[in-house]
Amino acid sequence: MDEIIEERPRAVLIGLFQGLKDEYDIEESMIELSELARAAGAEVAEIMIQNKAKIEAATYIGSGKVEEVKLMVEQTGSNMVIFNDELSGAQIRNLENLMDVKVIDRTALILDIFAIRAQTKTAKLQVELAQLRYRLPRLTGFGGQLSKQGGGIGTRGPGEQKLEIDRRRIQERVDEIRKQVKEVQKNRTVQRQLREKREVPIVALVGYTNAGKSSIMNQLIRMSTEGEEEKQVFEKDMLFATLDTSNRRIVLEDKKEFILTDTVGFVSKLPHSIVDAFKATLEEALSADLLIHVVDASNPHHPMQMEVTHHVLKELGASELPMMTVFNKIDLVEDRTALFGDGINISAKTGENFDHLLEYIKKSVFNSMVRATFLVPYSDGKTTSYLCENYQVDRMDHLEEGTLLELEVQEKDYNRLSQYLR
């Protein structure tokens, strides 16, 4: 029987360096593009860079470079060319015709990885939304070229067959998904309001992809007195392991508790369509009382990664939230004398310095706690047990008039129980 063997995607990568106009390092950027290509299942045959101040409207790179790339594709037996920037539909079409090979851009590549990783309904919907929004203005660029080789990269995911349907139907689908995402969001908002009512602070982990956000979350879950193995989130050495925000309740020894939120990671040149599509689930993190910016201290490119994170947070309107920087993977950093700004150095792998991290979190989110001494009459046993269950009671005496409790409480309980204050 004949077996259909899909040709393994083999790609030539090309980036344009516009000199001083580019604030990022082109080599760093190309290394990252290779990692993204590998994450999408492609083999990287060659990396090419063109130094050119001005973008060529029709082909993005200059015509001489197009010839060079075409030759390189032939020489290396490649079946696709991946561009480091977002291209227009016309540019993709022109380049495919000139080089006779499938052409995709960085955005399509990232969307493709998201499509592979999406597990939950919400994540799938958001990825489809981002894909459709990317494809809509480029509809004419696809079609015939779809049959080109290249292992499906750039065309995978829930949207594949939908390329053939017309714009209007796509727009209808976009509207429909938006509605569904909004619905999910509404439920989450209700949950959030409930939490806010209980005045449980929310702490969100944000940062570059693969920095260790989920690993930190898992370490803190282990330290929680309610820590359970099944509450652990997915952590893995790959780009975009997490696409969905997840929330966990962290209860500390002194019974103080907060909600910890894990979020999707960022990457440089993160496509607008993705930022937009994921805004709905990120919004939750954006209502946090504290953002923990997780940085991979062992990655030589972490300064660039920090900048990207700041940039995306700004785009999301979250740059004003209280934020602390945490330098993770410190176990991999040889030169321990290296100082990482005024952030905290930790290792989610060894648990090093997590006591400091917790101290810091506590200091920033529980500052509304007030010291109080209550004398609760025996007739109100409910209040006594409420206080014992929810707080760490530092002193408790059974007096003739009632139970004397000395403890730190939330302001709302301080006010609510003011009649018992001593």
Residues at the interface with ligand GTP (CB under 6 A): 209-215, 235-237, 239-242, 265, 328-329, 331-332, 347-349
Q: Does 353 bind Mg ion (CB under 5 A)?
A: no
Comparing C-alpha atoms, which of 375, 166, 178, 412 is closest to residue 279?
Answer: 178
Query: In angstroms, rounded to a whole number, what is the distance separating the alpha carbons of residues 404 and 223?
Result: 31
Shortest spacing between CB 229 and Mg ion, in angstroms? 18
Instruction: Kindly determine how many residues on this chain lie close enough to bind Mg ion according to the rule CB under 5 A.
Output: 4
Residue 60 interface partner, choices Mg ion, ligand GTP, none, CB cut-off 5-8 Å depending on type: none
Tokens of 370: 């007030």
Binding partner at 236 among Mg ion, ligand GTP, none, C-beta below 5 to 8 Å by kind: ligand GTP
96 or 296: whose CB is closer to ligand GTP? 296
Measured distance CA(22)–CA(153) in Å, rounded: 27
Shortest distance (Å) from residue 372 CB to ligand GTP: 39
242 contacts Mg ion (rule: CB under 5 A): yes
d(CA 65, CA 48): 9
Q: Which of 170, 239, 241, 405 binds Mg ion (CB under 5 A)?
A: 241
What's the closest the beta carbon of residue 213 comes to Mg ion, in angstroms? 5
Provide the minimum distance between the beta carbon of 235 and Mg ion in the complex, in angstroms, as a whole number: 6
**Shortest Å, Cβ 214 to ligand GTP:** 3
Distance CA 302, CA 186 (A): 35
Nearer to ligand GTP, 239 or 417 (CB): 239
Which window, 190-198, 239-247, 278-286, 383-391, contacts Mg ion (CB under 5 A)? 239-247
Q: How would DSSP label each residue in 268-298?
A: TT--HHHHHHHHHHHHHHTT-SEEEEEEETT
φ, ψ for residue 261, nearest 5 deg: -115, 130
At closest approach, how far in Å is the CB of 230 from Mg ion? 17
Which does residue 211 bind out of Mg ion, ligand GTP, none, counting CB within 5 to 8 angstroms by kind?
A: ligand GTP
With CB under 5 to 8 Å by kind, the binding choice for 113 among ligand GTP, Mg ion, none is none
Q: What is the dihedral of CA 56, 59, 60, 64, to 10 degrees?
A: -80
Closest CA to 252 of 215, 301, 203, 292: 203
Nearest residue (CB) to ligand GTP, 214 versus 410 = 214
Strands 43-51 and 102-105 turn out to be unpaired
Q: What residue 237 binds from Mg ion, ligand GTP, none (CB within 5 to 8 A, per partner kind)?
A: ligand GTP
Residues whose CB is less than 8 angstroms from the CB of residue 223 and which lie 6 or more positions away in sequence, other chains included:
250, 252, 354, 358
* Residue with the shortest CB distance to ligand GTP: 265
Residue type, 191: Q
Identify which of 82, 40, 78 has the alpha carbon closest to the alpha carbon of residue 60.
82
Residue 130 makes CB contacts below 8 A (sequence gap 6+) with 111, 114, 271, 273, 274, 276, 277, 278
Q: Is 59 in the site for Mg ion (CB under 5 A)?
A: no
- CA-CA distance, 335 to 159, in Å (whole number)? 47
Q: Name the residue nearer to ligand GTP (CB basis): 335 or 400.
A: 335
At its nearest, how many Å lie between Mg ion and the CB of residue 185? 21
Cβ 238 to ligand GTP shortest distance, Å: 7
Binding mask 197-226 for Mg ion (x = CB under 5 A): ----------------xx------------
Residue number closest to Mg ion, CB atom: 242
Q: Could you tell me the two tokens for 188? A: 């989450």
**Residues forming the site for Mg ion (CB under 5 A):** 213-214, 241-242
